[in-house]
Structure 1
Amino acid sequence: MRYTTEDGGRLNNFAIEPKMYKAEPPTKRQQLNYIIMGLGALVLVAGLVFVAASVS
């Protein structure tokens, strides 16, 4: 376990930090998948709103 010793002999525990990495921008295929999923979610929500409005 990692810890540091502060003034007065107190121990201070720190969480183990994950390694940092740079995020890569999405590829064209991933962008297309995001658009398709967004449109699917929009159709689902619009359908649910329509059903809720027609029932009430």
Structure 2
Amino acid sequence: MYTTTNEEGILNNYATEPQLYYAAYPDTEQQRHYAFLGAVATLFITALVLVALGVS
């Protein structure tokens, strides 16, 4: 942690910044996994909407 003091004696604490890195583009296996999760989420939301419409 980095601390400074101004002319009035007030302390300022600064957090250390994390090292930056660039995200890696997902490979084909990860892309297939994301597509599968999206399809499952779409089916789940569709089922919830249909059940809500059926109950009401």
- TM-score, normalised via structure 2 length: 0.82
Unaligned stretches of 5+ residues in structure 2? none
1:4 equivalent in structure 2: 4
Higher normalized helix content (fraction of residues): 1
- TM-score, normalised via structure 1 length: 0.82
After TM superposition, where is structure 1 displaced by more than 6 Å over at least 4 residues in a row? none
Count of aligned positions: 55
Please tell me the residue identity of whatever aligns with 1:54.
G
Alignment of 1:22-33 (within 5 A): 22-33=22-33
Secondary structure of 2:12's aligned partner: strand
Please tell me the residue identity of whatever aligns with 1:26.
P
Secondary structure of 1:46's aligned partner: helix
Unaligned stretches of 5+ residues in structure 1? none
